[in-house]
Structure 1
Amino acid sequence: MSQRAYLDAASAESLHPAAREMLLSAVDSGWADPVRLHHEGRTARLLLDNARAVLADAVGVRADELYLTTSGTAAIHAGLTAITAARTRAGSTVVHSAVEHSAVLHTAGADGVEVGVDSAGRVDLDAFAAAVRQTGVAVAALQSANHEVGTRQPIEAAAEACGDVPLFVDAAASIGHDAVPAGWSALTASAHKWGGPAGVGLLAVRKGTRIAPDWPMDEREDGLSPGFPDVPSALAAAAALQARLSEAEELNKQHRAWIDEVRRRMAADIPDVEVVGDPDDRLPHILTFSCLYVDGEALVTALDAEGFAVSSGSACTSSTLKPSHVLAAMGVLTHGNVRISLTRDTTYAEIDRFCAVVPGVVRRIRAEVGM
């Protein structure tokens, strides 16, 4: 296949050159246990502290407010569970939007209080505020922006509505692609979303927000992520985020314009298509559209054959292509959907070719099923 276009950055982005260079260098210097007192251990500790400082600065916290985990999902599980456990006197209920990542939904459990969203995927702020004011609420969870449709959430207004209830923000979709919102008590992110290596997650917990891990603790990351730290990967994650932020202004401007073009061309060139998410107040690099009378798996497979790597179904359950809980909560078409998300290496030629190819692919699939 001569032409491949990877348009699935929201799932994972290839390793940033800055991360690759740092990783190769750090493998030879950061392999020792950073809690040991010998020279090799102190060297690893210095490198780990440097990585933490860079990552903390990028999300706007102090270094001692940032914990490193093995993934964004692990950061959500650890952080949300530990904050909830620390607030048992207030209650144990987690209030969350209906479009949160599955890790938040699973951690909140059946006793969580779900708040609906509008057709753009934005939380009903009045309903969110009312839910948080109920007795028994331990913590509120609201993503910075949606991982499937790109719509930003009103984090600062939600934080104000929360009052003394901590606001937990999953920022995996936005870190490296958008400004970090203000007002939150805890925030999570995942390095492979901004060009860092897989296996590095961030959990930032502001001072004054109590945490109480309810699992056996050790001396690492205050018990929030026990086990031997991957120092080279942490350094690579920091290098990638620092580099990504230096590129962000130009990349975001470029990506926003290209996504606007895809939005226009999909709506104009494909009958019975629904382009979803807020057209303006959104992440710059993500777009989802759904095609009536088309199976999502068939569409992804056909586009892959044409050289395009895209996703479909729920971003949390793509291995089974279950209907997206995000799109269902928005009340929009849940099948025949495609999410594209642009990388730092995406070119306009790839976007133009994608827009030219998709209408024909959709027509062919519809014809095959007699539509």
Structure 2
Amino acid sequence: MTIISASYLDAASAEPLHPAARDVLEAALARGWADPRRRHAPGRDARLLLDNARAAIAECLEVDPEEVGFTASGTSAVHRGLLGLTASSGRGGIVHTAVEHSAVLHALAWREHDAHAAVGVDRTGRVDVEALAAAARVDGVGAVAVQAGNQEIGTLQPVDELDVPAGVPVFMDAAAAVGRGPLPRRWSVLAASARKWGGPSGVGVLVVRRGTRWRNPFPGEDAVDESPFPDVPAALAAAAALQAVLAESAETAPRQHALIDRARAALAEVPDLELVGDPVHRLPHVLTFSCLYVAGDELVDALARRGYAVASGSACTASTLEPSHVLAAVGALTHGNVRVSVGRDTEEADVDGLCRAVTEIVADIRSREGL
């Protein structure tokens, strides 16, 4: 039996399947099962659905349909997109912010013998654009990786302010930001993940702008699509979810922004609790904080027992038990860390209850430790 938390506050990891996606997925399963490369009727049906999915995603992201590809995950989109830029130019160096998602860091490790450079951020998590531009001018640099918004602390990056040399393309990991507000425009390749906006898991989106030098860095056809036989129903459902989320965003984004502001104000009253990330220039749905003298996993488990589902540590490195590289980069506490991310259905009562629970649990843990 699946147990759903009374208050799901981990939307930055995955949103529940959007009702619009569920309806489309059920309908598409009956028509989109065939190989879309085939010329027979079932194949043409699948091709039509796939083309519709590509066109819908393109419209949502304000790009051309032929620039959009589907991958098996957001991680795969990051790896293919970023390494495809360096593969095409022969310049393997990648300049990146110190707070990029671990998928970017893993891509760097794939080309570990190249001259990569991490550019630091300030206490809010915002990258130094001048330092990044200077690093991008070094010989051998084939790409710059700058995320749209940080998946862990919510800080938005000034992608449109970047002044990188001509011939050095910008890769933007937009997984945390798609559907959450306007996206930056000064990028050459974009990667995203459908489960972040209420689409099915197992659907990544890779966008390569026309005129960008890019080629598949892995064995297989030199195409933006990871597979010539993608999951057509899931791709169409992902597109339907994104359309619905964007249609709702004028109401959803301000409401979520206000919920996080409400949580920040309440948690600021907890002694020795540090709020992390930019309080203004941020994703609308993410809040991270660290508590001195409290273990993050202990706090998360105690909150789960009270019905609050949140995340601890880096969403991408928690399983390794390594300290969060994002928190380390901004100089925040790397222990006692909790990420709260509100979803479509989160209400003020969920946030208020969480904040009361955090206050009580932190006091109890510290009391038991004699603090």
Instruction: Indicate whether the TM-score tops 0.5.
Output: yes
Match of 2:11 in 1: 9
Determine what percentage of the aligned residue pairs are the same residue: 54
Q: Report the TM-score, using the length of structure 2 for normalisation.
A: 0.96
Among 17, 33, 36, the alignment partner of 1:34 is 36
Q: Report the TM-score, using the length of structure 1 for normalisation.
A: 0.96
What code does the residue aligned with 1:317 have? T
Match of 1:330 in 2: 330
CA distance in 2, matches of 1:21, 1:125: 43
- Aligned pairs for 1:312-327 within 5 A: 312-327=312-327
CA distance in 2, matches of 1:321, 1:351: 28
- 5+ residue gaps, structure 1: none
1:171 paired with 2:174, answer yes
- Aligned pairs for 1:34-73 within 5 A: 34-73=36-75
1:237 paired with 2:238, answer yes
1:130 paired with 2:134, answer yes
Match of 2:144 in 1: 140
- Aligned pairs for 1:304-315 within 5 A: 304-315=304-315
What code does the residue aligned with 2:37 have? V
Among 110, 114, 127, the alignment partner of 2:118 is 114
- SS of aligned partner of 2:199: coil
- SS of aligned partner of 2:96: strand
TM-aligned CA deviation for residue 108 of structure 1: 1.8
Question: How many residues get paired?
Answer: 365
**1:70, 1:199 within 8 Å by CA — same for their partners in 2?**
yes
CA distance in 2, matches of 1:135, 1:205: 24
Among 193, 196, 199, the alignment partner of 1:196 is 199
TM-aligned CA deviation for residue 166 of structure 1: 0.2
Structure-2 change in CA distance of 1:304 and 1:41 (3 Å): same
| Cα deviation 1:94-143 (Å, max 9, x = unaligned) | 00001000110111234421111100001111110100011111000000
**1:71, 1:201 within 8 Å by CA — same for their partners in 2?**
yes
CA distance in 1, matches of 2:4, 2:235: 35
1:297 paired with 2:301, answer no
- SS of aligned partner of 2:53: helix
- 5+ residue gaps, structure 2: none
CA distance in 2, matches of 1:43, 1:12: 30
Please provide the CA RMSD for this pair. 1.4
1:22 paired with 2:35, answer no
| Cα deviation 1:159-185 (Å, max 9, x = unaligned) | x33432100000000001121111100
TM-aligned CA deviation for residue 222 of structure 1: 1.3
TM-aligned CA deviation for residue 321 of structure 1: 4.0
**1:79, 1:224 within 8 Å by CA — same for their partners in 2?**
no
Among 214, 217, 220, the alignment partner of 1:217 is 220
1:366 paired with 2:366, answer yes
| Cα deviation 1:282-310 (Å, max 9, x = unaligned) | 11100001000000110100000010000
CA distance in 2, matches of 1:290, 1:215: 39
CA distance in 1, matches of 2:154, 2:367: 31
